[in-house]
């Protein structure tokens, strides 16, 4: 009897050990010097003339009682400086292809009004134009990314815009700029040649647009291309791989520096559901589309590799983020939505994907900065709050221009109704000071997960961490409680026999710093 009990005890013990081993995910990370640089421009933002992003968001006017600098809210300026945003895309979006830049220069009282036919049919007075935007970028210390009008504009209009903002003197447009009280040019590098040409930009075929793009791109610079512009072609809608194929095949590499890609995360187009009152099924479906970014980036990159093996043309994901039904009682055309821990999951996993594909992905733009879609900032009159997405992007600033470290991770599954998704997402980098940072996301709505990292391989001893967490997936910051969700010190790890053992709670984002 004692032998039987002993055997049962040994069997039970061994089974528990095996189960425990299976429950721990091993993350293998190599301290290599061969990885690509994670461009800081992957962490870019997007400000379209849409809803209350510009007017009532960024821009309140110089006469506003809200503290401002030349009409732009000071609290937003401070928040974006702290976020270290590397670039800002403007004025659209769909809005760009009905925007004529000359309407937005000169004395504000002389500027014509425009009807924003894309977003709510509102009338805008053009009080926020080229000077206002580019001066804001200077204040923020960020690179402007101008989206040009190809849909309803002309080659001449774009060529003159380039002259206006980039030529020092001697051209009609540079003299016009000086007349409008700006002596020195801004020197804008990033230019989008149209937006969503397959849709709101003109419902074009890729073959037609490729020819049109070549015409516009040719006249943007001089014959020797000394302006060194970074020209970005309007790229594919999600999985339209044919679009990417045609652009890469038909456009000479001397005329193109980047190809765009747009992809949003949602339940389904016809009924996206509430941004805060969602259930497990809706959360799972949203994360399915968010994680689809891995496949999209991989397949579009494979096509680009075929035509550009030297990796000269960048993949630019200049619209991404969560998209839900607007908040009750708000204008449907304004795309105003709240921002929960679900959005933190989207942000963390998507940025990890971009980091891990940083050899080809050189820029991305979250849609959008203030009051629209997956915004990092929300405003209500004089009040302002920072969203969970803001906090994730700030936690991830440690990856800006750092070197990607190769890793392998066999993630456990997050399961719902018989379907599976990888529960864990990760990326890692080494900065110029030799500090290693590891960003981890657990999208599982119910389970904590354990991760083990070999410390000896990394040659590190000290570890600190930051976590973004909240009791419920639906939790969000409000104007009455703007700090409900904010980063905190993370202590859910310990070192055992040269290995770092981490317990990452359900639906959280964690960033570790190792020395």
Would you please indicate which residues are annotated as catalytic (active-site) residues? 196, 319
Chain-centre distance for alpha carbon 387:
14
Q: Which two tokens stand for residue 309?
A: 């093996």
Q: Which residues face 437 on adjacent strands?
A: 429, 513
Q: Give the containing element (helix H, strand E) for 314.
A: strand 314-322
Rounded Cα distance between 25 and 501, Å, is: 10
Cβ atoms of 430 and 403 within 8 Å: the answer is yes
- Give the count of alpha carbons within 13 A of 323, CB side only: 20
Cis peptide before 368 (omega within 30 of 0): yes
- Using CB atoms within 10 Å of the CB of residue 216, give its burial: 0 to 12 exposed, 13 to 18 middle, 19+ buried: buried
Question: 341: part of which helix (H) or strand (E)?
Answer: helix 341-356
List the structure tokens of 17: 């050990």
Q: 13 — phi, psi (to 5°)?
A: -60, -45
- Cα 466 from Cα 511, distance rounded (Å): 5
Q: How far is 68 from 474, CA to CA, in rounded Å?
A: 33
* Cα–Cα distance, 185 to 194 (Å, whole number): 23
Tokens 């049919």, residue located: 121
Q: What is the 3-state secondary structure (H, E, C) of 225-237?
A: CCCCCEEEEEEEE
Helix, strand or coil for residue 334? helix
Rounded Cα–Cα distance for residues 93 and 455 (Å): 45
Phi, psi of 52 (to 5 degrees): -110, 40
Chain center to CA of 320 = 6
Taking alpha carbons only, the member of 484, 460, 364, 443 closest to residue 405 is 460
Q: Quick one: tokens of 246? A: 């045609």
Helix, strand and coil percent figures for the chain, each rounded to 5: 35, 25, 40
């Amino acid at each position: 009897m004692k032998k039987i009990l002993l055997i049962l005890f040994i069997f039970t013990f061994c089974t528990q050990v095996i189960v425990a081993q299976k429950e721990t995910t091993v993350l293998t990370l190599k301290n290599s010097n061969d990885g690509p640089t994670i461009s800081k421009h992957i962490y870019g933002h997007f400000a379209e003339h849409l809803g209350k992003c510009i007017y009532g968001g960024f821009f309140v006017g110089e006469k506003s009682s809200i503290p401002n600098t030349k009409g732009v809210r000071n609290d937003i300026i401070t928040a974006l400086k702290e976020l270290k945003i590397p670039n800002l895309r403007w004025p659209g979006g769909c809005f760009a292809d009905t925007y004529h830049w000359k309407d937005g220069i000169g004395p504000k009282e002389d500027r014509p009004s425009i009807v924003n036919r894309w977003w709510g049919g509102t009338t805008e007075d053009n009080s926020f134009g080229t000077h206002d935007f580019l001066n804001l970028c200077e204040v923020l210390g960020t690179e402007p990314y101008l989206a040009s009008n190809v849909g309803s504009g002309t080659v001449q209009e774009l060529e003159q815009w380039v002259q206006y903002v980039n030529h020092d003197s001697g051209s009609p447009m540079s003299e016009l700029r000086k007349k409008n009280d700006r002596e020195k040019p801004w020197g804008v590098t990033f230019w989008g040649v149209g937006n969503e040409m397959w849709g709101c930009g003109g419902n074009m075929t890729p073959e037609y647009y490729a020819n049109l793009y070549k015409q516009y791109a040719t006249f943007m610079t001089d014959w020797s291309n000394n302006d060194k512009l970074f020209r970005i072609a309007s790229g594919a809608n999600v999985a339209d791989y044919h679009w990417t194929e045609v652009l890469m095949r038909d456009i000479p590499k001397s005329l193109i520096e980047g190809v765009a890609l747009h992809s949003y995360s949602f339940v389904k187009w016809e009924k996206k559901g509430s941004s805060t009152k969602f259930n497990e099924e809706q959360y799972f479906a949203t994360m399915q589309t968010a994680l689809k970014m891995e496949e999209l980036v991989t397949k579009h990159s494979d096509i680009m590799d075929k035509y550009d093996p030297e990796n000269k043309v960048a993949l630019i994901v200049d619209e991404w983020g969560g998209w839900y039904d607007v908040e009750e009682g708000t204008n449907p055309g304004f795309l105003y939505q709240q921002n929960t821990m679900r959005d933190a999951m989207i942000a963390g996993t998507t940025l990890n994907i971009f980091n891990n594909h940083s050899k080809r992905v050189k820029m991305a733009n979250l849609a959008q900065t203030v009051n629209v879609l997956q915004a990092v900032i929300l405003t209500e009159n004089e009040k302002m709050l920072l969203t969970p997405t803001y906090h994730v992007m700030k936690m991830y600033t440690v990856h800006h221009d750092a070197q990607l470290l190769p890793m392998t991770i066999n993630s456990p599954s997050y399961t719902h109704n018989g379907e599976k998704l990888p529960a864990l997402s990760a990326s890692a980098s080494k900065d110029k000071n030799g500090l290693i940072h590891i960003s981890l996301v657990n999208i599982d709505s119910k389970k904590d997960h354990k991760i083990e990292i070999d410390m000896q391989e990394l040659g590190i001893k000290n570890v600190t961490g930051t976590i973004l967490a909240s009791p419920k997936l639906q939790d969000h910051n409000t104007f009455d409680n703007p700090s409900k969700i904010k980063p905190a010190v993370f202590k859910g790890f310990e070192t055992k026999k040269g290995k770092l053992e981490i317990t990452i709670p359900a639906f959280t984002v964690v960033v570790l710093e190792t020395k």
